[in-house]
C-alpha cells in the first residue's frame, strides 16, 4: 500500500502534510525578515503612558486590566488612522483575550503593517519585547505602512 493509495480522509494522510508545512513555516520564519521594536524606543513610548485619574494600572493580575488597554489604545504616539480602526479591529477585545502583560516577550506573526505590534509594545513596556514578523509577501504588501510606523516615526 503506497502513499497514494491511502484514503484522503485518513487522519495520518491529513496530519503529515500539515506537520511538514508547519516545519517549513518555522524554517522560513527563521530565514525571513524580522522587525524588532527598539527597546529604547519601547521604553520611551511606555514612559509616556498616562492613565485617567479614575484608573490604575496593575501588572500583578493574571490578565491585562482595562486601564492598561485604555492606556495603550490612547497612547499619545498612536496615529489617528490607527485609532479610527480600533473599534472595527476589536483591539480591546483582542488584547484582553491574549492576556499580554508588562514584561512579556510577544511574537506578532504576519504582523502586516504593525498595527497590533505597536499596541503590544505599549503594553509590554520597557521590560518586554515585541517581535513583528512578516514573510516576503507580507513585507512587500505592507512596506509603505512599515516605513511610516517604524522608520519615519522613529
pLDDT confidence of residue 35? 47
Residues 51 and 1 occupy one common structural domain: no
What domain range is 12 assigned to?
1-31
pLDDT confidence of residue 8? 54
Are 132 and 35 in contact, with CB atoms under 8 Å apart?
yes
Residues 79 and 62 occupy one common structural domain: yes
pLDDT confidence of residue 52? 47
> Mean pLDDT per segment of 10 residues, for the chain of length 154 residues?
53 49 50 49 56 44 80 92 94 90 93 94 94 90 88 62
Residues 48 and 101 occupy one common structural domain: yes
pLDDT confidence of residue 7? 55
* Cα 104–chain centre separation: 12
Tell me the C-alpha distance between 67 and 57, whole Å.
6
Residues 53 and 109 occupy one common structural domain: yes
Residues 110 and 47 occupy one common structural domain: yes
pLDDT confidence of residue 128? 94
Other C-beta atoms closer than 10 Å to the C-beta of 106 total: 19
pLDDT confidence of residue 26? 52
pLDDT confidence of residue 64? 82
Other C-beta atoms closer than 10 Å to the C-beta of 16 total: 13
Are 77 and 48 in contact, with CB atoms under 8 Å apart?
yes
Amino acid at each position: 500500500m503506497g502513499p497514494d493509495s491511502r484514503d484522503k480522509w485518513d487522519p495520518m494522510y491529513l496530519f503529515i502534510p500539515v506537520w511538514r508545512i508547519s516545519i517549513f513555516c518555522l524554517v522560513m520564519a527563521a530565514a525571513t525578515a524580522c522587525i524588532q521594536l527598539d527597546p529604547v524606543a519601547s521604553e520611551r513610548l511606555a514612559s509616556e503612558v498616562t492613565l485617567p485619574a479614575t484608573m490604575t494600572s496593575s501588572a500583578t493580575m493574571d490578565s491585562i486590566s482595562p486601564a492598561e488597554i485604555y492606556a495603550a489604545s490612547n497612547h499619545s504616539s498612536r496615529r489617528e488612522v490607527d485609532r479610527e480602526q480600533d473599534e472595527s479591529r476589536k483591539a480591546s477585545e483582542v488584547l484582553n483575550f491574549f492576556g499580554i502583560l508588562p514584561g512579556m516577550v510577544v511574537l506578532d506573526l504576519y504582523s502586516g503593517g504593525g498595527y497590533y505590534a505597536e499596541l503590544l509594545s505599549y503594553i509590554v513596556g520597557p521590560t518586554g519585547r515585541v517581535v513583528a514578523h512578516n514573510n516576503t509577501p507580507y513585507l512587500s504588501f505592507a512596506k509603505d505602512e512599515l516605513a511610516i510606523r517604524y522608520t519615519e516615526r522613529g
